[in-house]
């Protein structure tokens, strides 16, 4: 089974014929019930990251519950569509990007399942190369970029934005971490697909980023963005062959993965 975790404005993926599954986990309930449908040859589970009515801000999303629930359901490969700001004028609103690196600037988020046992997870390349290839190979998709994940829920100051850009980061987001590392701990393939909704505050003069503008831009691009996610799912091989995301090969874990 493949998985899709929808971001801001991306609260549904299937029609009324999809089945709904309510799940609980050792880390609480996920953001919303999971809906399961079919895309091409794949059975696909969809979970809205922020809840069906955007009940969760980026710093309050139950990330551990979300990823655990999808793994328990049988998901092993996940796309994480999300809204991002751009830190370069070359990537304007409407651009769709498959990042290849991330930088964590969050704080206080529960970002591991291994609170005991001395387990360490390789994360040098945080995204699954197989899933990245499936999405990045589609027309009009930008392949590569570094996404810096900030704590939120506030947007960056102009100084912070210029600082991020000076480091060579290209995208800024609030939810890409710890989602990606939790997937790696659960040995699930994971790749982000980012929709640029705005140029960040330090990149262009003006009033800065506003929630209204971000959601309006996401809504304008929702149809082509969902189409892109559908096409990425269809491009994924039926059989999982990736070994890059099997982080615990040869390691004895303190508990069994779901």
CATH number of the CATH domain containing 126: 3.40.50.1580
Catalytic pick among 17, 100, 104, 200: 200
pLDDT tens-digit map of 213-249: 767 777 787 889 999 999 999 999 999 999 999 999 8
Over 60: is that where the pLDDT of 38 sits?
A: yes
Average pLDDT, integer, range 3-20: 85
174 is an annotated ligand-binding site residue: yes
Q: State whether residue 119 is helix, strand or coil.
A: coil
- Answer yes or no: is 255 within a domain: no
Domain span holding position 222: 2-235
Q: Is 140 annotated as a binding residue?
A: no
Q: Has residue 48 been placed in a domain?
A: yes
> Could you confirm whether 200 is annotated as catalytic?
yes
Report the mean per-residue pLDDT for the chain.
Answer: 92
To the query of whether residue 115 is one of the catalytic residues in this protein, the response is no
Provide mean pLDDT across the span 15-35: 93
Query: What DSSP letter does each residue of 167-201 carry, written as one string?
Result: TT--EEESSHHHHHHHHHHTT-EEEEEEEEEEE-T
Q: Tell whether residue 248 is among the known ligand binding residues.
A: no
Asked if the structure places residue 240 within a domain, the reply is: no
96 marked as binding residue: no
Domain membership of residue 256 (yes or no) is no
Residue 49 assigned ligand-binding role: yes
Cα separation, 141 vs 195, whole angstroms: 10
Q: For position 201, what pLDDT does the model report?
A: 72
Number of domains in the chain: 1
pTM: 0.94
pLDDT at residue 209 in the model: 62
Contact predicate 117/185, CB 8 Å: no
pLDDT in tens, 115-131: 988 899 999 999 999 99
C-beta neighbour count of 178 within 10 angstroms? 21
Q: Which one is catalytic: 111, 143, 198, 249?
A: 198
Find the range with the poorest average confidence among 8-12, 54-58, 102-106, 204-208.
204-208
126 belongs to a structural domain:
yes
């Amino acid at each position: 089974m493949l998985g899709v975790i929808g971001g801001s404005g991306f609260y549904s993926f299937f029609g009324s014929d999809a089945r709904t599954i309510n799940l609980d986990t050792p880390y609480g309930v996920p953001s919303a019930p999971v809906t399961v449908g079919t895309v091409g040859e794949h059975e696909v589970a969809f979970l809205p990251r922020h809840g069906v009515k955007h009940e969760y801000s980026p710093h309050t999303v139950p990330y551990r519950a979300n990823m655990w629930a999808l793994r328990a359901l049988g998901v092993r490969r996940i796309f994480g569509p999300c809204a991002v700001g751009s830190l370069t004028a070359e990537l304007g609103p409407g651009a769709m990007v498959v990042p290849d690196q991330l930088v964590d600037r969050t704080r206080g988020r529960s970002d591991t399942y291994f609170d005991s046992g001395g387990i360490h997870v390789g994360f040098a390349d945080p995204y699954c190369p197989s899933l990245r290839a499936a999405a990045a190979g589609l027309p009009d998709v930008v392949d590569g970029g570094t996404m810096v994940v900030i704590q939120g829920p506030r947007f960056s100051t102009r100084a912070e934005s210029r600082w991020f850009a000076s480091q060579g980061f290209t995208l800024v987001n609030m939810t890409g971490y710890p989602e990606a590392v939790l997937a790696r701990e659960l040995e699930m393939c994971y790749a982000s697909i980012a929709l640029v909704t705005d140029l960040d505050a330090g990149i262009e003069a003006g009033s800065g980023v506003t929630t209204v503008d971000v959601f309006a831009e996401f809504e304008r691009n929702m149809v082509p963005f969902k189409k892109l996610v559908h096409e990425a799912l269809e491009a994924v091989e039926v059989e999982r062959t990736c070994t890059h995301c099997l982080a615990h090969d040869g390691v004895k874990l303190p508990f069994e993965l779901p």
